[in-house]
Structure 1
Amino acid sequence: MPDLPTLLWKEPALVLISNLAWPDLQPGSEDHVIVPVGALEPHGPHLPLGSDTMISDHFAHRLAHEIGGHVAPTLGYGVATPSQRLGGTFPGVISISGATFTAVVTEVLASLARHGYRRLVLVNSAIDNISFLCEAARDLTERSPGVRVMIVNWWDVVGEDFRDALARESGTARRDDHHAGMVESSLVMHISPHAVRTDRLPVDGAVERPRRISYHLYPQPADTATSSGIVYTAAGAGAELGERVADQVARQLADAVRREFAAPLPS
């Protein structure tokens, strides 16, 4: 069976901007444009480097399918995540500086606004992109009256009650379920099962226990690093759980976008 993006590309309600010829790019005032934003960085030994980008792509396509929006090309390079969140320094961090990232996002959004889009949604899956996305959105909306920008991370809309229920069912506390943990691993298992190396997940709960700190130290303390890059736990991850999470996020995301763009746009 074709994957979700392949199916959605065939839906008349979904328009990928990169597939259009220039005479067909005529956005109406009610059209949303959705920009998936990801990153390229390690997610333990079991998930692909592009996990964040895969997740953003997935939810951007589902959102466009739900609300009839347009999908812009993905921004797949993000701002580097601190090594303590990755469990150490591993190959695969391919990032750009915050200044460059902000400039790129600002110019992409400005171009979309210049072509007539007034409802812009950034679907992001990399936590260290957030402040720079906000800076770009502030810059654009200050210079472009009549434009509204929504920045949403998939975890913003999954719902507290839903996450609490997952924690109770799985026995995995939420404090142990962040980067490359149970929920994120499950999402990628659902979205792109062939890209996940399940044989590299720890067996029988045998995981390292690095010291976790909520602040940042440079260079990274040795006791906060791991040999595998699994800082949290991916125990209990599975495609079925990922499908539940994906369906929940997709519903909540569409509801949030409808709600935030129901009010009149600023003039």
Structure 2
Amino acid sequence: MSTKPMRSYAISDLPWTDVAAHLKHDRRLIVPVGACDQSGPHLPVGAGTCVAEALARDLSLEFGVLRAPTFHYGVNLPGEEAYAGTAALRAKTLHRALNELLAVWASQGFCEFIAITANAHVPHAEAIATLRAMDARVRVVEALSVDLGALLEGSTRQEHAGEALTSLLLHLRPDAVLMDRVQEPTVDPRKVGKFSIGRLRRIPPATRGILGDAALASAEKGRLIYEHILQKIRLKVFIAPPPDEDDE
């Protein structure tokens, strides 16, 4: 006799008994990790969190995998504390907090964690990439590190709240995007080019928190970008995941 799909795979929506029952046949857990960081005057604070949550929700439903509540804080770019509403953790604090959560879930029987984030800032990404859990596999997906060059019109170098993220939000949360606030880039591209990917010293104040050309964004472009990222994660993590090093 076939069983009906669960009404929700978000553990925050389920009684503990349903979580325990699901663990008997699938011991994976998707863990979306956000960040409370500014994304220019046209996107909500923590726009990357919206992307991580959407990916986690869609993959959870598609593959029938339980999903943890979103961890809403991460490691922000230097100087972002000057932007109202932002809040950040130190890399070691983020790493420790997530490790403690994974340890509890692993003790309950979860044996594979898929952490999904959309924040390419290197200290943030490294804090998640080095997560470990006893007797469990940890896979980490940094959504914005996927090569999007074929889908973007502007520069594919380091951007923040630019064409890619703005397009994603126009697709996922169009009601939250204020395109009338987007201005033409005011900073010399050569100056922006000095920043190595993920290692920005500080976003120049003249940019109003944006690196890249958000004016090039569109909802259709966002749909294509989102589907491209989703397919990359499907193939890498859920359909044909690589073996653990110990298995090679």
Aligned partners of 2:174, 2:70: CA distance in 1, in Å? 21
> For residue 24 of structure 1, what is the aligned residue in structure 2?
18
User: Are the structure 2 counterparts of residues 200 and 102 from structure 1 closer, same or farther at C-alpha, using a change threshold of 3 Å?
Assistant: same
> For residue 167 of structure 2, what is the aligned residue in structure 1?
186
Larger displacement relative to structure 2 (127-136 or 249-258): 127-136
Aligned partners of 1:51, 1:76: CA distance in 2, in Å? 11
Find 1:113's aligned residue among 106, 113, 133. Answer: 106
Find 2:130's aligned residue among 123, 127, 135. Answer: 135
Q: What are the residue-to-residue correspondences of 1:52-91 with 2, within 5 Å?
A: 52-83=48-79, 89-91=82-84
Higher-RCO chain (CA-CA 8 Å, sequence separation at least 6): 1
> For residue 236 of structure 1, what is the aligned residue in structure 2?
216
Task: Report if the CA contact (8 A) 1:38-1:52 is conserved.
Answer: yes
TM-score (norm 2): 0.84
> For residue 207 of structure 1, what is the aligned residue in structure 2?
185
Extract unaligned runs of 5+ from structure 2. none
Task: Report if the CA contact (8 A) 1:16-1:70 is conserved.
Answer: yes
> For residue 173 of structure 1, what is the aligned residue in structure 2?
155
> For residue 46 of structure 1, what is the aligned residue in structure 2?
42
Aligned partners of 2:246, 2:29: CA distance in 1, in Å? 17
Task: Report if the CA contact (8 A) 2:77-2:200 is conserved.
Answer: no
Aligned partners of 1:264, 1:78: CA distance in 2, in Å? 27
TM-score (norm 1): 0.79
The number of aligned residues is 234
Task: Report if the CA contact (8 A) 1:30-1:119 is conserved.
Answer: no
Cα RMSD for the two superposed structures: 2.6
Q: What are the residue-to-residue correspondences of 1:84-99 with 2, within 5 Å?
A: 89-99=82-92
Aligned partners of 1:118, 1:64: CA distance in 2, in Å? 16
**How far off its partner does 1:52 sit?**
1.2
After superposition, give the CA deviation of every residue in 1:134-169 in whole Å (9 maximum; x if it has no partner). 2333xx2xxx12x1100001134x4x4xx23223xx
**How far off its partner does 1:30 sit?**
3.5
Extract unaligned runs of 5+ from structure 1. 1-10
